Amino acid sequence: MLKVKRYFKDNLGIIIALAAMILFLYVYPKTHNTFLTQNNIFNVLRQSSTNLMLACGMTMVIILGGIDLSVGSIIAMSGVLGAAAVVWHGLPEIVGILIAVLSGVLFGLLNGLVIAKTKIPPFIVTLASMNIAKGIAYVYSEGKPIRCMTDAWKFLGAGNVAGVPTPVITMFIVFVVAVLFLNRTKIGRHIYAVGGNDTAAKFSGINTAKVKFIVFSFSGLMAGLAGITIASRLYSGTCTSGDGAEMDAIAAVVVGGTSMSGGSGKLGGTLIGVLIIGILNNGLNLMGVNSDWQYIIKGVVILLAVYTDFLRNRKKAS
Amino acid sequence: MSEYLLEMKGISKEFPGVKALQNVDFQLKAGEIHALLGENGAGKSTLIKVLGGIYIAEAGEILIDGRHVDINSVNAARDNGISIIHQELVQVPHMTVAENIFLGREPMGKFGVDNRTMIKESQKMLDRFDLGINAASEIYDLSIAQQQMVEIVKAISFNCRILVMDEPTSSISDREVSQLFDIMRNLAAQGVGIIYISHKMSELNEVCDRVTVLRDGTYVGTFVVAETTKDQLIAQMVGRELDQYYTRDHVKNTEVVLKCEHIDDGKKHHKRVSDVSFEVRKGEIVGFAGLVGAGRSETMQCLFGLTRGSTGTVTLNGEKLNIKTPVDAMKYGISLVPENRKVEGLYHIQSVSFNSTIEVLHEFINNLVVNTKREREITQEFIEKMHTKTPSHEQAVTNLSGGNQQKVMIGRWLATKPKILILDEPTRGVDVGAKAEIYEIMNELTKQGVSIIMISSELPEIINMADRVYVMYDGRITGCIDYEDVSQESIMKLATLEADQTHSGAAGDLNRQEAKNHA
């Protein structure tokens, strides 16, 4: 009970923002009949699912004091590689899925390796791997979508389990695993330590290289998983999918209260951040707002959410 | 004309839950160097921030030359001739000295900033104090002391009449300190009033005329330095007579527990440790003395597994150890509390609890279960053992005073139950009350059979606490002195061995290197 109370207290600002958005969409005449239907709720959750996967990895990366720009491109690459394995090389779907996920992990491992072993900032390293992954997706698919329509392929992104969309289930499993990993393991604490003070962590005997390696690998894994989920949902591996996905993930993490300077943040906040962005997208669509305008509104909302949180923290500190 | 250049009368400032200042008086004469003394949390920095326009006092008034002034912003303070040199230097490292001095008010020529005039003017100001600093060089290339000098010059360039210096000597070498003091005397002679904040009591006699003591946000008194003893001042600061400042029951000739032989950092360039051998006995405090840059910290980092490529043999209780990483060292019961708690020690935004338990996570996190009760117990145990003052386990360490931060850090390493505890400058930036407590805890630990290696640049600390003192110079051990024979002179002789002859240049380089590392 205490934990639930604490959770509400810590995230009060964004919980109120989320509640206000839901209330508004429920009251607003144009969306009153469509917003709070089971159909639309699943819709929001499904659309948010891949963002939550990315955001789970991104939360850890940002707590660590880093950033991972490559996840969006990894989505495209893993989708293309997975679909190509099935369609062009006749491999079973499950192998295609594994290839997709593993390609994401591989990129995460490489990011982690370079970041852990050199002093090159994560921003630069993942900026490079972002381009490399994107390039692989384009080169391999020759710029064309690789269509794959089998039921086994569609299951992960477009299927259902007992009426619940599969990606929503995947999302919850991923979230629980991430929470357990970050809050209930020694490595989890070490992530906060390295992000809080890298040098102190070294003096503490924490293998900082290992921690960085693990976190970036996890982020890669999440991107691979999101990639195959999207490819499955689109019935195809496409080199343009996942464009800008890293920015949505970063936005969700930051709205969720994780500090860009590292060392602090919680996955619980990230969850709300993801929902805020998901509902915002969904609500604007339902309201029939022009998609060009949506960008502007989204930008303003992100800024407002972070600013109110900043004000609240400053009040708390003084 | 008033007798005083600056008068602060009945200043009160409150923060939520804390009365930081209560009815504090302070008077500064023109041309005097006036020390502001008090333990951490006594209200020194709050008072200075009120003077500097960073905080607005709830009550009280400020008079300059006997006239009431309103200081409600940093600019208002500056307009009234007040300059503050903060402990953490606020300069732009990759700009030149001249650019830093003229930051925000650059002289403009026909084509933008007139660089030549700027450098010429700056050089003139620097030369007034005979500093030997080139106005065109980058701040980044200067030592900490030189950066401080630049900051002073910048302050004076604003026609400042009241100069506040917050612990300017905490990270500079003795030679540079005396240069700094010369400048301060020079300024005072020109009629500038200087407020000087320092933890180092020994500096008061050297440079200050009067001293004002604060305690728990209240005014205790103002004294003439030459007429007051150090013990009297300490008693005023802590509000009680410290019956015993140093607590040490010396031990002698106990069994040897740790033996380090031929330790070498294996570096080709900037070698700091070469062929260092020493031993540590059970229940002993072994002091390591030497100048800044003599290689003491680096030696311990080799021993602790922090230096890759270091060589040498380490034997603990007859068993030869293979230490490659800090984790190995801790496994054998060796812990190191690092020198610079800000950089190497604390996780600032994290809680006291997080900071206390980060070394012993395995005691309460297992198989995806966090035993929060055990976590609280460990935290509480070391808060009590170290007499740490903190409002709660969840308090962020950055909000604690320096002394309490240090206690949290030492407590964290005690939690690993070390047999050998290495303390690198255990009382740097810690106030006298907390210092005495830390000495007492060290003594207590050795009675329980722990052996302590203490690196310290404070000679009184080394002389009073250590059972044996190793002295290092230029990466080597130049001698070992028993506590019966130890004295300031005997240590300094070993610490500056050769310094006057062939290696004086090298020592300078080391200091410079050290300063760069700090920057």
- When comparing pLDDT for B143 and B296, which is higher? B296
Mean pLDDT computed over every residue of chain B: 86
Name every chain A residue with its beta carbon within 8 A of the beta carbon of B308: none
A73 is a domain residue: yes
pLDDT band with cut points at 50, 70 and 90 for residue A46 = very high
Instruction: Give every CB contact of residue B323 below 8 A, 6+ residues apart in sequence.
Output: B303, B304, B305, B314, B329, B332, B334
Of B336, B344, B349, the CB nearest to A263: B349
Query: How many Å lie between the alpha carbon of A86 and the closest alpha carbon of chain B?
Result: 37
Say yes or no to pLDDT of B41 above 50.
Answer: yes
**Whole-number pLDDT of residue B240:** 64
Average pLDDT rounded to a whole number, residues B373-387 = 93
Query: Are B150 and B58 in the same domain?
Result: yes
| Residue A258 φ/ψ, nearest 5 degrees | -80, 135
Q: What is the CA radius of gyration of chain B?
A: 25
**Whole-number pLDDT of residue B209:** 93
Of A186, A200, A205, the CB nearest to B365: A186
The number of domains in chain A is: 1
Q: Do B349 and A202 touch (CB under 8 A)?
A: no
Q: Do A203 and B326 touch (CB under 8 A)?
A: yes
| Distance of alpha carbon B81 from alpha carbon B160, whole angstroms | 4
For B310-321, how does the pLDDT look when each residue is reduced to its tens digit (9 = 90+)? 999 999 999 999
In A, minimum Cα distance to B305 occurs at: A205
For B338-356, how does the pLDDT look when each residue is reduced to its tens digit (9 = 90+)? 988 888 899 988 999 999 9
Q: Which of B78-87, B161-170, B298-307, B498-507 has the lowest mean pLDDT?
A: B498-507
pLDDT band with cut points at 50, 70 and 90 for residue B519 = very low
Q: Do A205 and B330 touch (CB under 8 A)?
A: yes
Structural domain range at position B364: 347-398+408-415
Query: Are B436 and B385 in the same domain?
Result: no
For A265-277, how does the pLDDT look when each residue is reduced to its tens digit (9 = 90+)? 999 999 999 999 9
Select from B350, B355, B425, B517 the residue whose CB has the most chain A CBs within 10 Å, as the one to mutate to test that interface.
Answer: B350
Q: Do B350 and A263 touch (CB under 8 A)?
A: yes
In A, minimum Cα distance to B14 occurs at: A318
Average pLDDT rounded to a whole number, residues A228-232 = 96
Say yes or no to pLDDT of B11 above 90.
Answer: yes
Query: Are B182 and B46 in the same domain?
Result: yes
Q: Do A193 and B338 touch (CB under 8 A)?
A: no
DSSP B240-307: S--S-SS------SPPEEEEEEEEE---SSS----SEEEEEETT-EEEEEE-TTSSHHHHHHHHTT-S
Structural domain range at position A218: 45-313
Q: Which of A96-105, A250-259, B75-84, B143-152 has the lowest mean pLDDT?
A: B143-152
In A, minimum Cα distance to B327 occurs at: A205
| CATH number of the domain residue B175 falls in | 3.40.50.300
For A150-209, how does the pLDDT look when each residue is reduced to its tens digit (9 = 90+)? 999 999 999 999 989 999 999 999 999 999 999 999 999 999 999 999 999 988 889 999
> Which of B238, B266, B286 delimits the end of a domain?
B238
Tell me which amino acid residue B514 is: E
DSSP reduced 3-state for B383: helix
**Whole-number pLDDT of residue B498:** 52
| Distance of alpha carbon B75 from alpha carbon B61, whole angstroms | 18
Of B336, B343, B358, the CB nearest to A199: B343
> Which of B415, B441, B473 delimits the end of a domain?
B415
Count of residues in chain A: 318
**Whole-number pLDDT of residue B174:** 73
Q: Do A205 and B347 touch (CB under 8 A)?
A: no
B181 is a domain residue: yes
The number of domains in chain B is: 3
Q: Do A192 and B354 touch (CB under 8 A)?
A: yes
Chains A, B: CB contacts within 8 A come to 70
Query: Are B39 and B75 in the same domain?
Result: yes
**Whole-number pLDDT of residue B499:** 44
Select from B13, B334, B351, B361 the residue whose CB has the most chain A CBs within 10 Å, as the one to mutate to test that interface.
Answer: B361
For B253-266, how does the pLDDT look when each residue is reduced to its tens digit (9 = 90+)? 899 999 999 999 98
For A10-34, how does the pLDDT look when each residue is reduced to its tens digit (9 = 90+)? 788 888 888 988 999 999 988 888 8
What residues of B are in the A interface, CB distance below 8 Å? Answer: 15-16, 305-306, 325-327, 329-330, 336, 338, 343-350, 354, 358-359, 361-362, 365, 368-370
A25 is a domain residue: no
**Which pair of structure tokens corresponds to residue A88?**
């062009």
**Which pair of structure tokens corresponds to residue A310?**
């900043």
Please report the ipTM that was assigned to this predicted complex: 0.82
Select from A203, A211, A258, A261 the residue whose CB has the most chain B CBs within 10 Å, as the one to mutate to test that interface.
Answer: A203
**Which pair of structure tokens corresponds to residue B377?**
């117990």
> Which of B187, B209, B238 delimits the end of a domain?
B238
Average pLDDT rounded to a whole number, residues B105-124 = 85
Query: How many Å lie between the alpha carbon of B111 and the closest alpha carbon of chain A?
Result: 36
Name every chain A residue with its beta carbon within 8 A of the beta carbon of B326: 202-205
Average pLDDT rounded to a whole number, residues B433-452 = 92
CB A156 within 8 A of CB A229: yes
CB A69 within 8 A of CB A130: yes
| Distance of alpha carbon B180 from alpha carbon B175, whole angstroms | 9
DSSP reduced 3-state for A239: coil
| CATH number of the domain residue A214 falls in | 1.10.3470.10
Percent of chain B with pLDDT over 90: 46
**Whole-number pLDDT of residue B432:** 80
